[in-house]
Amino acid sequence: MSDLPPLHPSKARFYELDILRGVAAIMVVFYHYKHFLLISETAGFDYADLPFQDILMPLYLYGQFFVELFFAISGYVFFWLYADAIKTRHTGPTRFFIARFARLYPLYFVTLIAAAVLQIAYTHVSGASFIYSDNTPFNFILSLFMVQQWLPGAVQTFNGPAWSISVEVFLYAVFFLICYLRRTSFLVLMLLIVIGLKIKEMDSLSDFARGMPHFFIGGLIFYLVQWLRADGREKTRKAVAIGLGIVLPVLAVISFVRGWVPGQLHGNDLVTSVFSVDSFIYIFLPLFLLQVGLMQGHWKVSLMSRETLHRWSWIGDISYAVYLIHFPLQLAMMLILSAGGAATRLAIFSSPLTLVGFLATACGLAWLSHRYFEMPMQRFLRGWMGEHLDKPKAVG
């Protein structure tokens, strides 16, 4: 077989979630911009030196938590696209593996190698690695197989932001297993969410624990949307959508105001809980995802028409590349400027023009990567691996 058939009978794209994923990736890039101003792991940096800090302070402080939105969107999309196909055996383990490997690994591998080479060069020039210090051969091997976050005490290394891809790979395996066993009930998803939250409670510093609850929260929201959008529930769906339309702006304002204050990851009472990071990632983001799911195809404004969303879908197309490319790009820029002193780097990276230029370069490279590398490699690998690994069984 020259290529794999579609994994889902519908070729329609959920443009809203595609664009939302791209916006989330850019939010993470803003959060990581402060890497440029980090003097050392102990000395830290001054937030006052960051460009546009009067406007972007919430992103500089908490932009990392948009990764939780990545996981929730992934959970929603995977249950939407793959769950039924796996349950009905239209997609088996080999085909599922090929599809995910072909999509994720080519750029993941290239950016891992780029980060490793640039870290070696930067360490040679400056005497220390940049941001992520545990760049050992063992951690490189773990990263090569995308399992660097699977072991207790795992740390971010080489292309640090890729930690979330390692967690996603683990979640894909859990997702496939429960779908293959046809165990995707509300109780199973709630159990997986509780297990994820318990792991997070036992090790609050573990990045691994950030993925599991939110991925399956995304799956739970998908099934809730399906239930609300079923025939005969139009009034209930509209009531929920109107209610969310009232509540979400309030929660958005609370999240924005809270974003200007350092700390308060968890609340100790009602007031601090409402203004905590937990309220943002466990209340606002899931409800926002629910509203987007309910409103798919039901928007009343031309700005959200399918034609308009299609024109902006490139933001979602480049999200994966923006996320993986931006740190190697930072490394390359720091290597180029390594000969300059701290004062020179501060003057350059505190400039708003540098921030805009960095973001534009990351997005431009991501667009080129998506169009001329990722998609061609995905087509090639799906065809080649499908030919060699997913051969039709002989009859007779």
Whether the per-residue pLDDT at 76 is higher than 50: the answer is: yes
Whether the per-residue pLDDT at 369 is higher than 90: the answer is: yes
Q: Over the stretch 275-306, which tens digit does the pLDDT of each residue have?
A: 778 888 898 899 999 999 988 877 776 677 77
**Alpha carbons 386 and 378: distance in angstroms, whole number:** 11
Q: What contacts 24+ positions apart, CB below 8 Å, involve 174-177?
A: 174/212, 175/75, 175/78, 175/79, 175/82, 175/215, 175/219, 176/82, 176/86, 176/93, 176/96
Q: How far apart are the first and last CA of the chain?
A: 19
Whether the per-residue pLDDT at 367 is higher than 90: the answer is: yes
pLDDT of residue 155: 86
With b for 16 or more beta-carbon neighbours within 10 A and e for fewer, the 374-393 pattern comes to beebbeebbbebbeeeeeee
Give 43's pLDDT tier (boundaries 50, 70, 90): low
Question: What distance lies between CA 10 and its chain's CA centroid?
Answer: 24
- pTM across the whole model: 0.89
pLDDT of residue 39: 56
Q: Looking at per-residue confidence, does 290 or 389 come out higher?
A: 290
Q: What contacts 24+ positions apart, CB below 8 Å, involve 327-330?
A: 327/32, 327/35, 327/111, 327/115, 327/131, 327/159, 327/160, 327/161, 328/111, 328/114, 328/115, 328/118, 328/159, 329/358, 329/361, 329/362, 329/365, 330/32, 330/35, 330/36, 330/130, 330/358
pLDDT of residue 151: 85
Whether the per-residue pLDDT at 184 is higher than 70: the answer is: yes
Whether the per-residue pLDDT at 37 is higher than 90: the answer is: no
**Nearest one of 360, 354, 305 to 334, comparing CA atoms:** 354
**Alpha carbons 380 and 378: distance in angstroms, whole number:** 5
Q: Where are the beta strands (DSSP E) in 18-58?
A: none
Quick one: what percent of the chain has pLDDT higher than 90? Answer: 53
Residue 63 burial (CB count, 10 A): 21
Q: Over the stretch 92-132, which tens digit does the pLDDT of each residue have?
A: 999 999 999 999 999 999 999 999 999 999 999 888 889 88
Whether the per-residue pLDDT at 180 is higher than 70: the answer is: yes
**Nearest one of 226, 216, 110, 111 to 172, comparing CA atoms:** 216
Q: Over the stretch 213-269, which tens digit does the pLDDT of each residue have?
A: 999 999 999 999 999 988 888 899 999 999 999 999 998 888 887 777 776 666 565
